[in-house]
Structure 1
């Protein structure tokens, strides 16, 4: 008598009459695009769309409450506006002065803090104290310096009461000193960022390079020029580029301390756009000035980076 036979069951997918779903495999470049897609979408929403809106608005005009195409009229008006060119001049002075002072003060303090001849406790305390201006909010910094610049403030007390000068200095009320006073505040507020960045770069330089330079007879200035600066070139290029861009668009300290005054002596391009577009409500003209300045800043940044990197390859 034959025993019972054991049959082999067909696959489950064949019993129910359908196949298992196939997984979509994404590899290579497509996978990378999927990872950066959220960031690209955020960038398009918060940067590209507003930028495109500003460019489109710069070719418009408002007449009797209606928007109409005006061609290049707003740009021609901006190029012939003396106030706009005055703001360009103030912006150039503010940007160049701030960048030079930020790098000079930050680099000098970074070199001092990188020395090891004084105790670690004192060095850490000084580092923390020098970073404090960066911690303060812009509003608090502006209020503090406005009190220092006041005719009855500390600076004028030292100027008149201690040095015996006959008259107070209107730091923020005199067109000859107002822009320099704001540059000083901006330098005090921003130098810690550059100090910390350069200090990190200094601490990453191998000590063997300095030892080899000493063996070759290099002095302090030669070690600074041929060892320190070449090793910091990437940091210097990065932070100087950031500084130019941020100083070019600086608004907050000017708005809080002088509001572009006295007259228009401290009115930069960024504040001119802010006042024209938002305070005066002339959005098309403000958009045209913004677009012009964006083109100028982009061209300057590209040329600056090419010149700096080219000189680095030749000399460093």
Structure 2
């Protein structure tokens, strides 16, 4: 109202015509910077064109795992499933890049404070030919869905699974006694990644997992496998029991690994034969139908008061014993 500045008790502050205005102290300076050119629609993760491009890339050929191009990989993406996975955080992203996990895009938030981890991540991505995109921090907030991204995210395409028939043919054509590990009730991707790494270390031909109620080859499994997931095919079985029975008809011996096994691994007399080693979970063990399908059930002898080992550790112990017996032969 005109004349208010002259009312009793009013104080005129210096600064502007209408009074002093407090500043932002430079905190709003970042908001005034330009964000650069808008990236192409194929490079924006939530744009329909980007999803269509990712779907086309998946149809053209799987990222890894050796799935047959003539057959649709088991456990492919269904309607409503994500076409990719985002690894969040500086340490997880850097570990994935160090292990050469196949990735399609590295996202860095605008204005992210640089450090040694981010510098190395950008360098490794550039050397691997991975696209690097600077995006607003709000985009990473949407990707993280509540997670902490620390200003960086890595986009990983879905893993290319083999078909059980392709895995069987690969094992039979390896020129040595086939060795496949099947996982039953294993829901931790770290256990899956560790088993894949052991299979690669001890000359196995592949890993079989059920299509449902099982861990999948996610970024966590990739990191735990130390890159072995790029060399060891992983197949998904619609029905684990039926697949094991068909492999028995093909000449395989099926040995279950369970804490309540009938014999120890020292008495595993089929180590030099075509073998499928079925690993049960640490808690539930083998499911009833899978256990009944096994030709024999073995366990790792334990000393002291320990009742069982972690599933991936137990699988590594048995695979080492199988490899030892095969070398002795």
TM-score by length of 2: 0.22
- Answer 1 or 2: which has greater strand percent: 2
Structure number with the bigger relative contact order (C-alpha 8 A, sep ≥ 6) is 1
- Answer 1 or 2: which has greater helix percent: 1
TM-score by length of 1: 0.22
Structure showing greater Rg: 1
